[in-house]
Amino acid sequence: MTLLIEDTARNVLASWGGAAVAAGLATGAVISPFSTPRQHAGYKQSAQETVDRLKAEGAEVWFDPETHALQMPAVGDFRYYDDWPLWDGPRGQLTSHAEMRGHVERVFGEQDGLGVPHLAPTVLLHSAQSPASRQALDLARVAVEVDSACRLAIAGDSAFWSSGLTLDAHVGGLAQLEGGGWWLTVVRNFNVLPVPAMPEEVHGVCRTVRAFSEDGTVHVSHGDLAGLPAIAASATTLGTGWDPRQRVSCYGSYEARAPGDGGQWFSQATLEGLLSLMSRADASLLEQRDPTLSNRLLPGTVPPGANEAFIHHVDVLSRVVADLRGRAHRDAYQALADRYNAAQADWLSVAAAIGSRSRADTWISPLHDGLHRYGQTEGF
Amino acid sequence: MTALGVAKVSDLRSGGQKTVCLVERGGEQLVLKVVAVGSTSPEALRRAQREVELLQQIDDAHVVKVASDLIELGDPVEGAAWLEEYLDGEDLKDLVGAPWPVADAVAMALDVARGLAALHAAKVVHRDLSVNNVRRLAGGGYVVMDPGFARHTLLSDITIGGQPGTPGFISPEHLLAYSGIPTPASDVFCVGILMFLALTGQLPIPYTGDPSDYISRLSRVETLDLGTLRNDVPTEVSELVSRCMHPQPARRFRNGQRLADALQALP
């Protein structure tokens, strides 16, 4: 259990994602009604074809309804979404118990049709104490009424995950439902890497993961490198992919797009020793100027293209996840803290080698600070 | 009295918003509880009535038996009344002060946890568990009283954040609303308080008469250290008390049954 490959606007989830699973670098994949059409559409395969191809490679496949995206500002990419029969009434209408139940039953019905496990919908939260948080709890309760073993979801922005006592109380309410595992998402304003994580947000995610992990599996959707503290706190899997929109859940990923707007392929290099990405130009410069350091940090050579960069990324990420998951709580915390300490030191060497500045302040420090707060809470 | 078909025998307790009388119905001694409901809304009273109906179905040795429906008093409603079984014994508040033997504290917590387990199985959260709401029977054993509908009838001594509670016996969730309101794990927190009090004679988060100071310490779950106050408590017991009062509700024993299981498993 290491990584789930998130859905993407590109048409390579089954091929690239399936290859990662077949190579033992990922556990499975996630399809989304915003990215995968229910029926074959243009260059995009149908959801069922995608699921079947992924399963043929041994993948665990999930359908994330991403209902929480409907509350994002400027959500507008409904090219595929509206072909999915997920609503009795108007899209996003979840006021009454009947509307909640209707949506949950339709989501579970689609998941049954695809032959994937039940993952409940949720709503986006900016606060853990609000009418919306009450709605999220009610929606989760309805989901458990329909299927007591369904996996439950929480989606919130940085303010939500940073909200301390109120977050803990909200999570306590959800824990009473005793669902069949958890699916957590940190939603961000911008699609940038490194994500602008806040230490208290990381602390909140870690506390929540630690609490839920005592009773079931916990997936950190779109978690990627920023989700490693959650793995140290006993999360089961991280979401990732080849595009930034698979590595970050953000508002921009759900905005209306011009037809054919696929964007550039993403080919930044992932350096295991830095737990960071680096542009291919910088990574190549480091490889040229200090091949020993480059080989130790990558490890290996700079991937030449997008597919190779993806395979290298999931190779690195799955190795780190497997290492952390193989440890007891305190050891996992310490192992990641040691990696962050080493990365901060190595960033200085890298900066000196390529004549740049250390990027540890954005790639490492917020996550390390959040992990440290989690360690203090746990008494490590 | 007429509506409930009872005759008064004597006053048991009176004060604040609550009056408690010993009454008789067909030769059976019962307790009549009358509370002022103040500004309680009609919907709150309907919820209280539904909860009383649920409680009438609970037949557990560690939960006081409710012997009537909840009836409304006055038009507009000014009060509510119901009948409970009469429990011969002492309130826990009269028994705490000096530290108890560890085994006695564990036995008390086990009975209370079993009572809560019955409530939680019926989807009732007590919300106001304190030394005022636990009674030791003359023949031994402890019984949980005044569950659930206290929330709806302003039965408790104070309310904080819209939730009932007794100073010193409040969980952090009592301070919250919306999705963070008390759950069965909040009742478990209060069992931790009762155990701490029984073992040490002190409240883990003492109430000194300053509500804002108390709320501040409660919200951070700043508890006294059990081991400092009493060093002969076995590690397993002190860890269990700590888990009951974990700042994260999801890290506590989830409900009364899980707590009872853990208490029974103690060496």
Give the pLDDT score at B165.
73
- Within 155-214 of A, beta carbons closer than 8 Å to B belong to 165-166, 168-176, 178, 207-208, 210-212, 214
Are B250 and A134 inside 8 Å of each other by CB?
Answer: no
Which residue among A134, A168, A207 sits closest to B178, beta carbon to beta carbon? A134
Which residue among A137, A210, A212 sits closest to B179, beta carbon to beta carbon? A137
User: What is the percent of chain B with per-residue pLDDT over 70, rounded to a whole number?
Assistant: 88
**Which residues partner with B143 through β-bridges?**
B135
Give the pLDDT score at B153.
43
Give the separation between CA A94 and CA A102, rounded to whole angstroms: 9
Give the separation between CA B109 and CA B244, rounded to whole angstroms: 11
Share the mean pLDDT of chain A: 96
Which residue among A134, A207, A210 sits closest to B179, beta carbon to beta carbon? A134
CA of A311 vs chain B CAs: smallest distance (Å): 37
Burial of B94-132, coded b for 16+ CB within 10 Å and e otherwise, reads ebbeebbebeebbbbbbbbbbbbbbbbebebbbbbbbbb
Give the pLDDT score at A379.
96
Give the pLDDT score at A293.
98
Give the separation between CA A103 and CA A88, rounded to whole angstroms: 7
**Which residues partner with B136 through β-bridges?**
B90, B142
Give the separation between CA A291 and CA A284, rounded to whole angstroms: 9
Give the separation between CA B3 and CA B133, rounded to whole angstroms: 26
Chain B residues in contact with A166 (beta carbon < 8 A): 176, 180
Whether the CB of B185 is below 8 Å from some CB of chain A: the reply is: yes
CA of B179 vs chain A CAs: smallest distance (Å): 5
Which residue among B178, B219, B254 sits closest to A165, beta carbon to beta carbon? B219
pLDDT at A262 over 70: no
Whether the CB of A124 is below 8 Å from some CB of chain B: the reply is: no
Q: Which of B124, B176, B178 would best serve as a mutation to test chain A binding (most A beta carbons within 10 A)? A: B178
Which residue among A131, A166, A208 sits closest to B180, beta carbon to beta carbon? A166
Which residue among A129, A130, A172 sits closest to B248, beta carbon to beta carbon? A172
The alpha carbon dihedral of A29, A35, A40, A43 has a sign of negative
Give the pLDDT score at B47.
66
Whether the CB of B227 is below 8 Å from some CB of chain A: the reply is: no
HEC string for A57-110: CCCEEEECCCHHHHHCCCECCCCCHHHCCCCCCCCCCCCCHHHHHHHHHHHHHH
CA of B76 vs chain A CAs: smallest distance (Å): 30
Query: In one letter, which amino acid is A65?
Result: P
Asked if residue A69 lies in contact with residue A37, where contact means CB atoms within 8 angstroms, the answer is no
Helix B184-200 to helix B102-121 angle, to the nearest 10 degrees?
160
CA of B74 vs chain A CAs: smallest distance (Å): 34
Alpha carbon distance, N-terminus to C-terminus of chain A:
26
Give me A87's structure tokens: 């609503």
Q: Is the peptide bond before B76 cis (omega within 30 degrees of 0)?
A: yes
**Which residues partner with A187 through β-bridges?**
A157, A249
Question: Nearest CA to A162 among A132, A207, A124?
Answer: A207
pLDDT at B163 over 90: no
CA of B221 vs chain A CAs: smallest distance (Å): 10
Q: Which segments of chain B does DSSP mark as H helices, in order?
A: 42-56, 102-121, 150-153, 184-200, 211-219, 226-229, 235-244, 256-264
Q: Which residue has the higher pLDDT, A35 or B126?
A: A35
- Within 153-172 of B, beta carbons closer than 8 Å to A belong to 172
DSSP readout, A245-302? HHH-EEGGGGB---TT---PPP-PEEETTTTEEE-HHHHHHHHHH-HHHHHHHTTSS-
Q: Is the peptide bond before A194 cis (omega within 30 degrees of 0)?
A: yes
Give tens-digit pLDDT for A279-302: 999 999 999 999 999 999 999 999
Give the pLDDT score at B109.
98
Q: Is the peptide bond before A303 cis (omega within 30 degrees of 0)?
A: no
Burial of B56-68, coded b for 16+ CB within 10 Å and e otherwise, reads eebebebbbbbbb
Name every residue whose Cβ is closer than 8 Å to that of residue A113 and which is 6 or more positions away in sequence. Answer: A48
Give the pLDDT score at B157.
42
Question: Nearest CA to B175 among A168, A275, A75?
Answer: A168
Give tens-digit pLDDT for B100-110: 999 999 999 99
Which residue among A173, A207, A214 sits closest to B179, beta carbon to beta carbon? A173
Which residue among A130, A174, A176 sits closest to B178, beta carbon to beta carbon? A130
Asked if residue B96 lies in contact with residue B131, where contact means CB atoms within 8 angstroms, the answer is yes
Are B180 and A136 inside 8 Å of each other by CB?
Answer: no
Give me B183's structure tokens: 């759950």
Helix A164-175 to helix B184-200 angle, to the nearest 10 degrees?
110
Are B176 and A165 inside 8 Å of each other by CB?
Answer: yes
Chain B residues in contact with A173 (beta carbon < 8 A): 179-181, 183, 249
CA of B218 vs chain A CAs: smallest distance (Å): 10
Q: How many interface pairs between A and B have CB atoms less than 8 angstroms apart?
A: 74
Whether the CB of B177 is below 8 Å from some CB of chain A: the reply is: yes
Question: Nearest CA to B245 among B225, B216, B266, B267?
Answer: B225
**What backbone phi and psi angles, to 5 degrees, belong to B160?**
-130, 130
* Band of pLDDT at residue B232, cut at 50, 70 and 90: very high
The alpha carbon dihedral of B187, B193, B197, B198 has a sign of positive
Give the separation between CA B69 and CA B83, rounded to whole angstroms: 8
Identify the DSSP state of B63.
B
Question: Nearest CA to A240 among A226, A223, A227?
Answer: A223
Q: What is the mean pLDDT of residues A227-233?
A: 98
Chain A residues in contact with B181 (beta carbon < 8 A): 169, 173
pLDDT at B150 over 60: no
Give tens-digit pLDDT for A169-222: 999 999 999 999 999 999 999 999 999 999 999 999 999 999 999 989 999 999
Q: How many residues does chain A have?
A: 380
Give the pLDDT score at B154.
39
Give me B38's structure tokens: 């103040």
Query: How big, in percent rounded to 5, are the helix, strand and coil portions of chain A?
Result: 50, 15, 35
Give the separation between CA B210 and CA B76, rounded to whole angstroms: 35
Q: Which residue of A has its CA nearest to B220?
A: A165
* Band of pLDDT at residue B166, cut at 50, 70 and 90: confident
Whether the CB of A379 is below 8 Å from some CB of chain B: the reply is: no
Which residue among A129, A176, A178 sits closest to B178, beta carbon to beta carbon? A129
Strands (E) in A84-181, as ranges, are: 124-125, 152-157
Q: Which residue has the higher pLDDT, A260 or A235?
A: A235
Give me A201's structure tokens: 């947000």
pLDDT at B127 over 90: no
Give me A76's structure tokens: 């507008």
pLDDT at B152 over 90: no
pLDDT at B43 over 70: no
pLDDT at B160 over 60: no
Q: What is the mean pLDDT of residues A122-135?
A: 97
Are A172 and B247 inside 8 Å of each other by CB?
Answer: no
Give the pLDDT score at A196.
96
pLDDT at B159 over 50: no
Asked if residue A114 lies in contact with residue A49, where contact means CB atoms within 8 angstroms, the answer is no
CA of A220 vs chain B CAs: smallest distance (Å): 18
Are B179 and A207 inside 8 Å of each other by CB?
Answer: no
Give the separation between CA B237 and CA B262, rounded to whole angstroms: 10
Whether the CB of A128 is below 8 Å from some CB of chain B: the reply is: yes
How many distinct helices (H) and strands (E) make up chain B? 8, 10
Does ipTM top 0.90? yes
Give the pLDDT score at B97.
94
Give tens-digit pLDDT for B201-227: 999 999 998 888 999 999 999 999 999
Give tens-digit pLDDT for A322-362: 999 999 999 999 999 999 999 999 999 999 999 999 999 99
Question: Nearest CA to A370 among A206, A239, A155?
Answer: A206
- The pTM for the full model equals 0.93
Whether the CB of B256 is below 8 Å from some CB of chain A: the reply is: no
CA of B177 vs chain A CAs: smallest distance (Å): 7
CA of A212 vs chain B CAs: smallest distance (Å): 7
